[in-house]
């Protein structure tokens, strides 16, 4: 599946902007680091992962961003297609007071530790994850050090 096919598939589940257009944008790799950037609803994370898996993309990273002023947490999925070298970034946002979305680890087993790391540092819950236990923080840690309100 070519990058344009991925764009069309993701456009079917992407969030809409103010003009009711899907938020799937081709980007300049040299400027943005990816060829395609998509914003999806949080409940569509698994559907987007299936689209990427069918297009032979691998998950490269999952991370978070704490938008404290917006009271939201952003989850960013970075995918790469090893044969073509194309990169796709998929973003979604969840409320900061209930940072939860479905786990993609059943589709991409390698996402297991990426989700655990994101949970460690941001407190984002991945529903359906087989073992969301601390990966890098102590087992008794009750804090998430990459949240912007984390006190040093």
3-state secondary structure 85-137: CCEEEEEEEEECCCCEEECCCCCCCCHHHHHHHHHHHHCCEEECCCCCCCCCC
Q: How many domains does the chain have?
A: 1
CATH number at residue 64: 3.30.460.80
* 86-105 confidence digits (pLDDT tens): 999 999 999 999 999 999 99
Q: Is the pLDDT of residue 21 over 60?
A: no
Question: Does the residue 79 lie in any domain?
Answer: yes
* Choice among 27-31, 44-48, 61-65, 89-93 with the minimum mean pLDDT: 27-31
Beta strand 36-39 with 58-67 is: unpaired
Question: Does the residue 109 lie in any domain?
Answer: no
* Choice among 17-26, 79-88, 91-100 with the minimum mean pLDDT: 17-26
The mean predicted confidence, pLDDT, of the chain is 89
Decide if 42 contacts 69 (C-beta within 8 A): no
Question: Does the residue 106 lie in any domain?
Answer: no
Helix (H, G, I), strand (E, B), or coil: what is residue 68?
A: helix
Given this model, what pLDDT does residue 58 score?
Answer: 96
Six token digits for residue 42 = 């949080």
Question: Does the residue 75 lie in any domain?
Answer: yes
Tell me how far CA of residue 141 lies from CA of 67, 119, 133, 148, in angstroms.
22, 12, 11, 17
Q: Is the pLDDT of residue 33 over 90?
A: no
Question: Does the residue 48 lie in any domain?
Answer: yes
Question: Does the residue 118 lie in any domain?
Answer: no
Confidence category of residue 106, pLDDT binned at 50, 70, 90: very high
Decide if 132 contacts 112 (C-beta within 8 A): no
Decide if 55 contacts 66 (C-beta within 8 A): no
Question: Does the residue 135 lie in any domain?
Answer: no
51 burial level (CB within 10 Å; 0-12, 13-18, 19+) = buried
* 107-151 confidence digits (pLDDT tens): 999 999 999 999 999 999 999 999 988 888 888 888 899 999 988
Separation between Cα atoms, residue 65 and residue 51, nearest integer Å: 24
Question: Does the residue 131 lie in any domain?
Answer: no
Helix (H, G, I), strand (E, B), or coil: what is residue 29?
A: helix
What is the extent of the structural domain holding 59? Answer: 3-100
């Amino acid at each position: 599946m070519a990058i344009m096919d991925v764009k069309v598939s993701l456009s079917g589940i992407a969030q809409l902007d103010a003009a009711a257009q899907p938020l799937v944008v081709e980007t300049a790799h040299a400027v943005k680091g990816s060829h395609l950037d998509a914003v999806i609803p949080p409940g569509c994370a698994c559907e987007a992962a299936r689209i990427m898996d069918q297009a032979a993309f691998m998950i490269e990273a999952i991370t978070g961003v704490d938008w404290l002023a917006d009271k939201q947490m952003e989850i960013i999925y970075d995918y790469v297609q090893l044969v073509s070298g194309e990169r796709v970034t998929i973003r979604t946002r969840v409320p900061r007071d209930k940072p939860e979305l479905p786990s993609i680890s059943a589709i991409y087993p390698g996402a297991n530790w990426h989700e655990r790391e994101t949970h460690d540092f941001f407190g984002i819950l991945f529903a359906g994850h087989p073992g969301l236990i601390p990966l890098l923080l102590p087992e008794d840690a009750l804090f998430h050090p990459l949240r912007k309100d984390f006190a040093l």
